[in-house]
Amino acid sequence: MFANSRTVVSAQTGPHDKLAALVERHRDATFRKPLAAYSAAAFDAAIAAWRNAGSAPLIVDAGCGVGESTLRLATQFPDHFVIGIDQSESRIVRGKDWWEGVWPENFVWVRADLVDFWRQLHAAGIRPARHYLLYPNPWPKIGQLARRWHAHAVFPTVVALGGVLECRSNWETYIDEFALAVEWLSGVRPQVEAWVPRDDIAPMTPFERKYLASGHGLYRCVVTLPPVLPRPPSLP
């Protein structure tokens, strides 16, 4: 059945007690993970498509999955250009017969490692106007903290990219942690709220649609970040 998604179960009752120390360590360290072999070509292709379209204000749809959110963002912001990024080629190339109407032209999908793509954006001096992380894997077990994006070594770079950064999740603790990490790294306090899509706006992703149908609470963190922040980790 469609509306059968289970709610997130975790022993955590609030933000992880090791989150602050982990964010601080990543902020003060240099992230030296080598780029994946295919990352340079993937990045170059995405940026070429953006520039060929006139270098409109950029939207990054990070972890776009099957690409529905990319199409909806491109439709919602016709004067922007959207890059939808996912590590799974099969999700990106999967049939799109669920999309009704004409496809927007102001977008591109690219298979890439998000960790690499974020670092390449920063190294190239490219700052997105808007940046979305929609329903990332919450990794809810207490021992999985470091797998959550806001506790990852790349997160200082994500925050340093600036722009309007938005994250959505069906786990309130994930959003609370995300907001704390952003504030610690930027000095800017995000807006955190329960999120219910308006009746006249379709859900952004298949996960959002399924979670709503399953009766889950949805939450989001939104923050407008300054274009210049303390140095992020450098590329190797």
- Does residue 58 contact residue 131 with C-beta atoms inside 8 Å? no
* Contact (Cβ atoms closer than 8 angstroms) between residue 65 and residue 98: no
- Each residue's pLDDT tens digit, 131-144: 999 999 999 999 99
Bridge partners (DSSP) listed for residue 105: none
pLDDT digit string (tens) for the chain, length 236 residues: 456 778 888 899 899 999 999 999 999 888 888 888 888 899 999 999 999 999 999 999 999 999 999 999 999 999 999 999 998 887 887 777 778 888 999 999 999 999 999 999 999 999 999 999 999 999 999 999 999 999 999 999 999 999 999 999 999 999 999 999 999 999 999 999 998 877 667 788 989 889 888 889 999 999 999 876 555 544 44
Helix (H, G, I), strand (E, B) or coil at 40: helix
As a whole number of angstroms, the distance between CA 130 and CA 21 comes to: 28
pLDDT at 229: 58
Strand ranges inside the chain, DSSP E: 58-62, 81-86, 107-111, 130-134, 163-169, 191-194, 219-225
- CA within 13 Å, CB half, 31: 24
Structure tokens at 149: 């994006």
Tally the C-alpha atoms within 13 A of residue 3's C-alpha that lie toward its C-beta. 5
Contact indicator for 57, 82 with CB cutoff of 8 Å: no
pLDDT (tens digit, 9 = 90+) per residue, 24-36? 999 988 888 888 8
* 45 burial level (CB within 10 Å; 0-12, 13-18, 19+): middle
Q: Can you spell out the DSSP letters for 189-218?
A: PPEEEE----TTS--SSHHHHHHHHTT---
Domain coordinates in residue numbering, the chain: 18-32+56-93+102-225
Confirm or reject CATH 2.60.40.1180 for domain 18-32+56-93+102-225, answering yes or no.
no
The pTM score is 0.92
Q: What tens digit of pLDDT does each residue of 206-222 get?
A: 898 898 888 899 999 99
